[in-house]
Structure 1
Amino acid sequence: MKSIKIIAAAIAVSTSFSSLADPMLIQQWSFTNEAGFFNPEFTRKPANAVNDPTVDGDSADGGTSILSTGALPDNVCWGDAVSTRKGQSCLKINSPVTNESTETWNENGEWVNITDGSAQGNAVTAAIGEDYTHFFKQGTALRHDNFPITGQFLDGVTIVDGIQLQAVMPTGIEVNAPELMFLVDFWETPNGGLDADGTCPFGPAARTPESINEKGCSDIFQMLPASDASTTIAIINRGDDFIDFSVKFKVQGVDAALYHRDYELITRLSGLSVVGESIGFATRENGVNVLNAQFAIRAIDAPEPSTLAIFAASLLALSGFTRRKAK
């Protein structure tokens, strides 16, 4: 009978443990988003080619880099320009971007204000299950100046992207969200098409009016996640011109009884036509293309402790209580 009473008491204690008030969310974060290019690879240079590729720029803009690699180039150009007025083809990243940033690229690659010229402000946390699209902040953007070229082409490059978060409250809490690495498989498609019919890898035939291939077959880049095994990238939403993906992170250094520790970083890549079922985009020929990146932070449910673990903790608590009572 005594054992039954102890077990019943343990169940009652475990229930009271599970019904404690939920910890507070960390509501606001200042942030730095930095991204750059690593290990670009190019096709073999033809004998009649003139230009070598150029790789330059500074993802930290002269400041202290938050990337595990240190500061990286944020500008890669290649090829011999068919038109001196247009120039080479290039990939560029607007880096770094912070909560103090006031400008970004628009769809034409022009600098525009984010919020009427004032700083965009801190990132605000969405609650568990809340619509995250209301909480987006501007991150780094990728620009492709896609102009007709000959000579040497870009074959592939790795993009390294990191976000550092500083909690407004409690102070002193800094989090490096999981660093993202993407292997970019770049396809410089023939402008006139793959065959006599002008067939393009994506969309209608080359030179089809009012289409993505109006000025020739669009180029394609596929972004293959290459982060370490501890980082799981989950695509959570997608449309014709955007992809949303999420990575989870845990905040260390806070009292778990006071502050919620489990969150996800949701990134939206938008502005270009989506290709395939993974993370791939097409860029129009003979023009500027911008892949915009925004991010949001949302709280997620903490992993549930097992019933057995709670039950064991409750028995330990009760055994201590009964020993004190006996004394």
Structure 2
Amino acid sequence: MTFSTRLAARALTALLGVSLVSGTVVAAGSAASADSGEGRKVMLKGSTTASYYWDDASGRNGDTGLPASGKPMQKGLAASPSWPLLTEGYVVYKGKKAPFFVGDRGPGEPSTRGIMLDLDAKTFADLTGGRFNPDTLAVNGNGGKGHIEVDYVITKWGPGVGKKNHPVPFETRAWSRKDRDPAEPVMLRTPAKPAAEPAEAPAKTPAKAAAKAPESPAAGKAPQTVPSTPSTPSASAPPASPAPERAATQEGKSAPAVVQTPAPTTLKADPVSASGEEGPSVPTGFVFALLLVAGVGSYAGVRLLSARLLRERG
């Protein structure tokens, strides 16, 4: 094998090594991003008080007719005082998640008191553990609940007029105006994995603990002086009192381990929601730097190889 052939082989080997390193770093960066706890973007999230209704145009229970969107009354159809019609999302109540879409307007006057969402009666019954009564259009068996505090997440804004932000009372007429300044999308985070519980420290045995505890003098006697020379123990030494052994046993008990639990997430039912922490990630600039070094090294190797070949041929 000539010198030029060996040089070409070494240059190709070095280039392959740099490419493998760069590929490994990029793959590690992708894996870190996948495990970083990043969720998905949503349009809005917040909380409010929700009531329920059921308007089926039958005239029962004081309903006002078909929903404003033209969609028939159904499970999952909700009313909002300000969000655009056909806006989609879901609510969470005590760990239970229920999807909805805005198909009607309301509540009216109750929205001035902070009740900003009217869920359909069937969804409300599922969330509160009650049952929908088709005769009275009411919810029974849930302890008389008519209002609940819910978390809401908007996943898609409707195409029409309405406020694309946190809800406002019906009387503001925000439902009739085109919103040209919608809320910025937010990122839901996956819940952080709970920290592993630290292993409890092994308790000291009474024998070892007693060996470390000082002997207490016998009652009414002065403490004996222990000779400093390494000799056999004196036969006249008084037996150890049981008190140091009890103290040593108490000393041997390990303190209970304190485990820090993560703060509870707001959206417990959402598999990608709640606040979590981002995992480690590889900086993009670092990856580009490695790729740049690989390119420069390859270019230098080719130039060196070309110059060597030209000198040999000349």
Instruction: Sort the TM-score into its range (normalised by shorter chain).
Output: under 0.3
Task: Select the structure with the greater relative contact order (CA < 8 A; seq sep ≥ 6).
Answer: 2
Indicate the structure with greater strand content. Answer: 1
In the superposition, the TM-score normalised over structure 2's length comes to: 0.25
In the superposition, the TM-score normalised over structure 1's length comes to: 0.24
Q: Which has the larger radius of gyration?
A: 2
Indicate the structure with greater helix content. Answer: 2
